[in-house]
């Protein structure tokens, strides 16, 4: 894989990024280190994590993933210089008081979270530091509508940018990004940065997959025109697009019990657990088989070859899954197959949104 520039930055990343949120929960430290080693051996230079990981989030595993990565980095001489390391500051609490005492995300919170992440990662700087979800109220994580009655914002975007700028000036962060954002949010961050000479966001990490193409309606144009890259997460729809739930739904006894949705009831209650999302995934999975592909090949190739996607974040729990996801890089989808994908989307829309 060739590297590509991330937004309007000097960072050059591989078009496949290794996501790590399962490290410390579904994946042991030894297995996590083996997965990281294999990813780098196969050419991946982009690693993404977050302060709130592992997932599903709980107090006992808060920060565990960053700590696992930190120990991996220190035990592999020269590894830090070979990778682009991304992490995230958590937004307002969302029922996780162990992250911070207050309900918001103040400038002081951003600085404190970054410094804690640097300690866990055992590094002097984070290459890409992202706001995990907006400080203001915005539709995300399965919410469909914006409702101004729910607004609780306490820290203006300008103030957030000032805090991030301080981290950049101090050499603790190289570039900044967003996650789970909206067109308004991206435009406001870019506008204020340009107006006040502050760091410009280079990327947005949002969900993007066959059962959630909400990015294609407004975010794609906004980010293309602003020069902000998409980091696509959940390209396999939390496993729905692997085919593992085609015979048995996650809540049924025959489902693979070690898999994420089947294992965690909290995940079944989220967007990926919707019956409509599974029904749509089964349509795409069958389409893949009809064209001589595996469901994984179809789902990942859809992201890998899209002009909208700079880098696709793959999350795995085994070396076999990692190899399967990386091997899919060579899969090419014909214009005719892409048209069939669009016909299904027109009918079923985005049930994983």
Catalytic residues, by residue number, are 53
Other Cβ atoms within 10 Å of 29 Cβ, number: 16
Six token digits for residue 320: 């076999």
- Rounded CA-CA distance 192/161 in Å is 8
Exposed, middle or buried: residue 137 (CB in 10 Å: 0-12, 13-18, 19+)?
Answer: middle
Interatomic CA distance for residues 115 and 11, integer angstroms? 21
Return all residues near 104 (Cβ < 8 A) that are at least 6 apart: 92, 135, 152, 153, 154, 155
Closest CA to 273 of 180, 142, 181, 146: 142
Output the six-digit token pair for 48. 């993404």
Residue 311 to residue 314: CA distance in whole angstroms: 9
The CA radius of gyration of the chain, in Å to the nearest whole number, is: 19
- Cβ neighbors of 191 (< 8 A, separation 6 or more) are none
Strand partners, 177: 130
- Please give the Cα distance from 330 to 54 (Å, whole number): 30
Backbone angles phi, psi at 33, to 5 degrees: -65, -40
Enumerate residues 6+ apart whose C-beta is below 8 A from 103: 92, 93, 152
Strand duo 46-48 + 16-19: pairing? parallel
Other beta carbons within 10 Å of 286: 14
Map residue 106 onto helix, strand or coil. Answer: coil
């Amino acid at each position: 894989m060739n590297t590509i520039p991330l937004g309007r930055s000097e960072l050059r990343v591989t078009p496949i990024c290794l996501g790590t949120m399962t490290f410390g929960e579904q994946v042991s430290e030894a297995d996590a280190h083996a997965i990281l080693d294999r990813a780098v051996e196969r050419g991946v230079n982009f690693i993404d994590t977050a302060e709130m990981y592992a997932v599903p989030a709980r107090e006992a595993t808060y920060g565990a993933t960053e700590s696992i990565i930190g120990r991996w980095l220190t035990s592999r001489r020269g590894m830090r210089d070979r990778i682009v390391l991304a992490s995230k500051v958590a937004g307002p609490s969302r029922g996780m008081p162990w992250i911070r005492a207050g309900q918001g995300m103040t400038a002081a919170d951003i600085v404190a979270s970054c410094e804690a992440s640097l300690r866990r990662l055992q590094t002097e700087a984070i290459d890409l530091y992202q706001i995990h979800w907006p400080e203001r109220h915005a539709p995300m994580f399965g919410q469909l509508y914006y409702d101004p009655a729910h607004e609780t914002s306490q820290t203006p975007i300008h103030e957030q940018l000032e805090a991030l700028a301080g981290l950049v000036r101090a050499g603790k962060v190289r570039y900044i990004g967003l996650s789970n954002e909206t067109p308004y949010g991206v435009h406001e961050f870019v506008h204020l940065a340009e107006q006040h000479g502050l760091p410009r966001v280079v990327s947005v990490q949002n969900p993007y997959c066959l059962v959630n193409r909400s990015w294609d309606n407004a975010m794609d144009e906004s980010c293309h025109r602003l020069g902000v890259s998409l980091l696509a997460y959940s390209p396999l729809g939390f496993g729905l697009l692997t085919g593992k739930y085609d015979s048995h739904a996650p809540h049924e006894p025959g489902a693979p019990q070690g898999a994420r949705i089947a294992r965690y009831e909290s995940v079944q209650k989220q967007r990926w657990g919707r019956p409509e999302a599974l029904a749509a995934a089964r349509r795409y999975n069958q389409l893949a088989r009809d064209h001589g592909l595996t469901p994984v090949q179809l789902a990942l190739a859809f992201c890998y070859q899209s002009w909208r996607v700079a880098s696709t974040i793959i999350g795995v729990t085994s070396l076999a899954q990692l190899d399967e996801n990386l091997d899919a890089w060579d899969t090419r989808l014909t214009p005719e197959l892409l048209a069939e994908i669009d016909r299904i989307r027109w009918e079923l829309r985005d049930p994983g949104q």
